[in-house]
Structure 1
Amino acid sequence: MTDLHRSHPDKTRRGFHAGFVRVLPDTLAARGIPAAAVWQALDLAPDEAPEDWRIPTTGLCHAIDIACNLTGELQTALHAAQAVRPLHLGPLGYALMSSAQGEDGLRMYERFQTLLCDEFLAQHRVVKGLIEIRHEPLDMPLPRHAGFWWFLIGARLSFARWVSGRDLVPVRIDLPCPRPSSADTFDRFIGVPVRYDTPDCRELMPADWLAWLNPNADTAMHQLMTTRTAQQMSQRPSGSPLLLRARLILAEHMSQGIELHLDEVVQAMSASDPELAGTTPRQLQKRLAEQGLSFKELLEEVRRERALRLLRDTAKPIGEIAHQCGYTEVSPFHRAIRRWTGLTPLQVRQQA
């Protein structure tokens, strides 16, 4: 596998960070189960986890299938998730571990999340005493794969429990996949019955989680690891926290039928993230220009990703999807879908 990486030094891939997904074959190895087939599915070798190497979601799902077949149980995905520690997340993991409060860790994760995965974006909001976190795919369908979601959501919750030293129990978990026969195992781990076959992936937690004090808080380590994490982020092709936050804000308002202008996006960024307070429209335009984008093109990207996902992954009426993508009428939405795909909205849905 090492030769493969060396022969494709410029290959651009999106997906999960190699250091994170290697916990899957490592978990098998710890149980004395040969994991060569899992390493092969991940396109990795046991002695490497290249800093810039990404494992696509499809590859991770395939590796999880192989791992579960080797053990004969879907719980293998959950066992791997429970083994995730700061080492698997790099500097970001240690920055999260040493943050002062739950809210600090959540905001830091959202700010730097593309270091872990750049095929999904997690965004949170606080509504009626609850933290609601939604996982939005970027220009790809939501996986209908129980093992994948057990691994991803299990890793998030297990890591939060480990850092906080608390038996954190969510209010609700929604997973966009069929309910597996062994679903009771994941229910027991989560602490509440999990809902399956939902339109999207959603976590609901008590808002007081934001205020819990981290027993592992370490100001010096946190500052050091945050600096290193920011350095890593700046080296990513699309690693600007400004662009990530802009995407999240545009998508969130778009879902409510609201289309924001550049100035409004900047205002929302400053209000939602203290790290971005004082950002100017000119700064956002500069970051966009560095990626070869204008604000209009960014808006178009977000609209396109959202429209295609809702058509492929939900049964919502086409008129409702058009509204949730910022269109006041259905006919311009039809024209946009045909421009992007060469198909009608109905054909996009049927092909999914």
Structure 2
Amino acid sequence: MSTSADQPAQNTPLKGIQAAFVRVLPDAVSARGLSAAPVWDALGLKVDEAPEHTRVPVAGLCRAIDVACGLTGDPLVLIQAAQAVRPLHLGSLGYALMSSPLGEDGLLMYERFQTLLCDELLARHRVAKGLIEVRHEAVDTPLPRDARFWWLLMGARLAFARWVSGRDLVPVRIDIPAPRPAGADAFDRFIGSPVRYDTPDCRELMPADWLAWLNPNADPAMHALMQARTAQQLASQPQGDAVLMRARVVLSERMSLGLEMSLDAVTQALHADTHDAQAITPRQLQKRLADRGLNFKDLIEEVRRERALRLLRDTSQAIGEIAQACGYTEVSPFHRAVRRWTSLTPAQVRQQAQTPGSAPASATSRPA
């Protein structure tokens, strides 16, 4: 059978998760004495090969998760895979994280360099009321509606943090934007705290004192070396795309929190995220948007449209609540916007998504 791994290198997906990370899934299947070839095939990779610069789309990983669970008959294989994640699965970023002096350093470093690992989903944290809140936002694609995908992703994040810190870390709560599947009790026990399903957003809530824990594996020399190497890798990527991806995540978060979404506010948030000495200026952000035929207003419109349609299709939130979560102070402008995007009312978009076999509503007009 032909797979994407048999295609020329230029056909390798540009967006997705690094192959070195997703290989923990077929490796977990092999560890049970089963042939993992179907899982490798679902990932679009040759058996036992995970080239450094190859990415697997999130949709491909979801297919592979379904295959792995079918082969083993046990969704716990995902927890086993998550617990196997080590620095080698994360590249130089993994070794930089492992050697970070403090919990906060590791969190900030992950968010700064995360596109090296995955550029279809981006995480962003804030600290408020004694809690760290991490939100995961999709970039140009819907959030996966398979809870098992989130078991692997969030399980890997938590398991790696436990391994690095040497602590039995227990978050306050996990929110998963997908229906609760069979076998969820096992994941709940692994997490050790409440897990909510079918939520509007994907979130992790953790005690703020995690930021201050000392890393027993801290190694200043290794940390400096691996951080420099990771920064070089990031610098070799097209930076315009990375900045715009972060800008979309910032906008989505600020919409959901009812915060200001001005050009200045977004560029200030981007600077706070990266902690770079040189901040991106409003003019530079506008230039990068213009290079793609967009302006800042267009970007807000795109983020608002994607968020609104996702919440209508994938959640049971009241339409008024969705309007507010997308930055509208009144419902009537939200109705007009949805009709402009899809030629349907919000209720019709939701009804269409709930009708088996119907095609999802698509935007009928995009910013020029």
Q: TM-score, normalised by structure 1?
A: 0.90
- Structure 2: stretches of 5+ with no match in the other structure: 354-368
Aligned letter for 1:28? V
Q: CA deviation at 1:290?
A: 4.7
Q: CA deviation at 1:68?
A: 1.6
Q: CA deviation at 1:129?
A: 0.5
- Which stretch of the first structure deviates more once superposed, 82-91 or 129-138? 129-138
Aligned equivalent of 1:179: 180
- Report whether the alignment pairs 1:337 with 2:314: no
SS at match of 1:198: coil
Distance 1:30 1:118, change over 3 A: same
CA contact (8 A) 1:130 1:206 kept: yes
- Which stretch of the first structure deviates more once superposed, 226-235 or 18-27? 226-235
Aligned equivalent of 2:302: 301
Provide the rounded CA distance (Å) in 1 between the counterparts of 2:236 and 2:295: 21
CA contact (8 A) 1:112 1:241 kept: no
Aligned equivalent of 2:137: 136
- Report whether the alignment pairs 1:57 with 2:55: no
Aligned letter for 1:157? L
Aligned letter for 1:213? L
- Report whether the alignment pairs 1:285 with 2:291: no
Q: CA deviation at 1:17?
A: 1.6
Provide the rounded CA distance (Å) in 2 between the counterparts of 1:14 and 1:178: 25
Distance 1:146 1:208, change over 3 A: same
Give the CA RMSD over aligned residues.
2.5
Aligned letter for 1:230? A
CA contact (8 A) 1:233 1:239 kept: no
Aligned equivalent of 2:319: 318
Aligned equivalent of 1:116: 117
- Which stretch of the first structure deviates more once superposed, 160-169 or 302-311? 302-311
Provide the rounded CA distance (Å) in 2 between the counterparts of 1:60 and 1:316: 28
Percent of counterpart pairs with the same letter? 69
SS at match of 2:125: strand
Alignment of 1:1-352 (within 5 A): 4-7=5-8, 9-10=10-11, 12-237=13-238, 242-275=243-276, 278-352=279-353
Q: CA deviation at 1:145?
A: 2.0
Distance 1:344 1:286, change over 3 A: same
Distance 1:332 1:184, change over 3 A: closer
CA contact (8 A) 2:96 2:222 kept: yes
Provide the rounded CA distance (Å) in 2 between the counterparts of 1:139 and 1:351: 21
CA contact (8 A) 1:18 1:54 kept: yes
SS at match of 2:132: strand
CA contact (8 A) 1:234 1:240 kept: no
Q: CA deviation at 1:179?
A: 3.0
- Which stretch of the first structure deviates more once superposed, 126-135 or 284-293? 284-293
CA contact (8 A) 1:100 1:217 kept: yes
Provide the rounded CA distance (Å) in 2 between the counterparts of 1:206 and 1:76: 28
Q: CA deviation at 1:85?
A: 0.8
Aligned letter for 1:121? L
Q: CA deviation at 1:151?
A: 0.7
* 1:136-176 superposed Cα distances (whole Å, 9 cap, x missing partner): 22343333323212111110000001111111111112223
Aligned letter for 2:60? G
CA contact (8 A) 1:263 1:281 kept: yes
Aligned equivalent of 2:366: none
Q: CA deviation at 1:205?
A: 0.8
CA contact (8 A) 1:141 1:312 kept: no
* 1:58-115 superposed Cα distances (whole Å, 9 cap, x missing partner): 2212211211222221100110011011111112111211212111111111122222
* 1:250-283 superposed Cα distances (whole Å, 9 cap, x missing partner): 2222113344221222233334542266432223
Distance 1:17 1:341, change over 3 A: farther
Aligned letter for 2:123? A
- Which stretch of the first structure deviates more once superposed, 264-273 or 311-320? 264-273
- Which stretch of the first structure deviates more once superposed, 123-132 or 155-164? 123-132
Aligned letter for 1:23? V
Provide the rounded CA distance (Å) in 2 between the counterparts of 1:21 and 1:239: 26
CA contact (8 A) 2:115 2:242 kept: no
SS at match of 1:199: coil
Q: CA deviation at 1:29?
A: 1.8
Provide the rounded CA distance (Å) in 1 between the counterparts of 2:17 and 2:295: 27
Distance 1:223 1:304, change over 3 A: farther
Q: CA deviation at 1:294?
A: 2.7
Q: How many pairs align?
A: 352
Q: CA deviation at 1:240?
A: 5.4
CA contact (8 A) 1:77 1:147 kept: yes
Aligned letter for 1:43? G
Provide the rounded CA distance (Å) in 2 between the counterparts of 1:121 and 1:274: 17
Provide the rounded CA distance (Å) in 2 between the counterparts of 1:288 and 1:229: 26
Provide the rounded CA distance (Å) in 2 between the counterparts of 1:121 and 1:191: 24
Provide the rounded CA distance (Å) in 2 between the counterparts of 1:291 and 1:276: 26
Provide the rounded CA distance (Å) in 1 between the counterparts of 2:236 and 2:279: 23
- Structure 1: stretches of 5+ with no match in the other structure: none
CA contact (8 A) 2:12 2:54 kept: no
- Which stretch of the first structure deviates more once superposed, 312-321 or 62-71? 312-321
CA contact (8 A) 2:5 2:46 kept: no
